[in-house]
Amino acid sequence: MALRLSDLVVCGEIFNTSWYSVHGWLALRGGEQMVHLQLTGNCAADLAGWHFRFESRDAEAKRPGLTPDDMKGFAWQQVGPTGEMTIKDISPPPPSERSPAVAGKQPPQKCLHLEWFSQNGRILVELIDPKIELLEYNDLEANPAGPPRQRADTDDELFDAEFAEFEPESDALDAAMLDEDDGGLPWEDDDEADVSSWLEDDDDDEEEDPYGLLPEALKQHFDDAACETDQSLNLEDLPDAPPWLAADDEDKPEVVRELELMDDCIERGDGEFLSDLFDGPLQLPRPEQLGSDEAAEHALKTLLATLARCGVSLAVCHHFTPRDAYRLLIDEICVGQRAYRELQGTQWVQTFMTSEYCPQCDEEFEREYQEYERRRKERGDEPDDDIPF
């Protein structure tokens, strides 16, 4: 059973300009939050290598908006393997093959078909006769790492060049990228709060009033008030409970509860091997038993779909074939890496990367680093802790 988002999707943007990677976003009708895609695989031949935008033909139609219950349990960062992603031809049959009842009618000519398998199972988006804008193409066989990147000598040049090229033309695309009601970005604040305050270290041994600015009576008042607050929380009654249970859990936003749960899992638990998270044994062949490349890719995507249900994804570098990625999952990652069962069904995603196991990626990184160092020395710049790539 597929979760169909066709009637909800207003517009979106898809990138398949790098080998075995499909990422992008979808804007939903009446929704304040976009769906982000980080999928493993390629589009079908007609869309493979393309960066394109699309918009539903009825994007401006007045329809009921989403309610919080409509997407309850939906993962807003969708991970997992791609299914069929293509533009289907739905042209009408020739006049001689039409029945009299449909003669003269001219249905739409194309359908954008997007399918993937994620934390929520099989997802399907089918848009009839959408507006599609093909923006950029990269031959995945000739340049599997993606389009050649324009090198930059400074961080400013690197980031400015990347964002200056994006200028949405559609009003619907603009609305999806920027909330028109607020007129600004959600993290902007007129008061300009001190964003570095969270970096301050709370050291209990540090003197709170090193210059003696507070009267002793006032300091004693603060200490007494803090003591009363601690006693009212009754923390001593929960010596083994995680800190995120100290307050009424239902009163906290969902994102806060999930972050606290994640912190508690990382700090207190070892997790489980990925192979132990599955509900039952998977009937998958050994990599050496797979004959064709198609069989290897099918086995890989079956395993990735199961891992996606556990909130686990795999990013495949351009040096790995589907067979290589499948062997890595079977022999090393699933039996050697851990995840947390408690985080299933949350917005938490744990991503593993083949590049961490790839000698060619290590060599490429070392070459880029040496080139960066050579340019830095030519300019006479001081060493920088941050490498701009």
Tens-digit pLDDT profile for residues 322-371: 999 999 999 999 999 998 888 888 888 999 999 999 999 999 999 999 99
Q: In terms of residues, how long is the chain?
A: 389
Per-residue pLDDT at 192: 41
Q: Work out the average pLDDT over 184-199.
A: 36
Residue 229 has pLDDT above 50, yes or no: no
Per-residue pLDDT at 104: 58
Going by pLDDT thresholds of 50, 70 and 90, the confidence category of residue 266 is confident
Per-residue pLDDT at 165: 44
Instruction: Answer yes or no: are the C-beta atoms of 17 and 148 closer than 8 Å.
Output: no
The residues pairing with 123 across neighbouring beta strands, listed in sequence order, are 3, 116
Residue 171 has pLDDT above 90, yes or no: no
Comparing 95 with 341, the larger pLDDT belongs to 341
CA distance readout (Å), 309 to 27, 60, 72, 123, 336: 23, 34, 16, 12, 19
Residue 87 tokens, joined: 């533009």
How do residues 57-88 score in pLDDT, each as one tens digit? Answer: 887 776 666 666 677 889 999 999 999 999 99
Quickly count: other Cβ atoms within 10 Å of residue 70's Cβ: 13
Per-residue pLDDT at 31: 77
Percent of the chain with pLDDT over 90: 45
Going by pLDDT thresholds of 50, 70 and 90, the confidence category of residue 173 is very low
Comparing 109 with 252, the larger pLDDT belongs to 109
> CA dihedral in degrees (126, 129, 135, 140; nearest 10)?
50
Q: Which residue is listed with tokens 């570095």?
A: 196
- 238-248: buried (b, 16+ CB within 10 Å) or exposed (e) per residue? eeeeeebeeee
Of the listed ranges 121-135, 245-259, 297-311, the least confidently predicted one is 245-259
Per-residue pLDDT at 184: 37
Per-residue pLDDT at 73: 87
Comparing 344 with 168, the larger pLDDT belongs to 344
Q: Work out the average pLDDT over 41-68.
A: 86
Mean pLDDT of all residues belonging to the chain: 77
Percent of the chain with pLDDT over 70: 66
Amino acid identity at 197? S
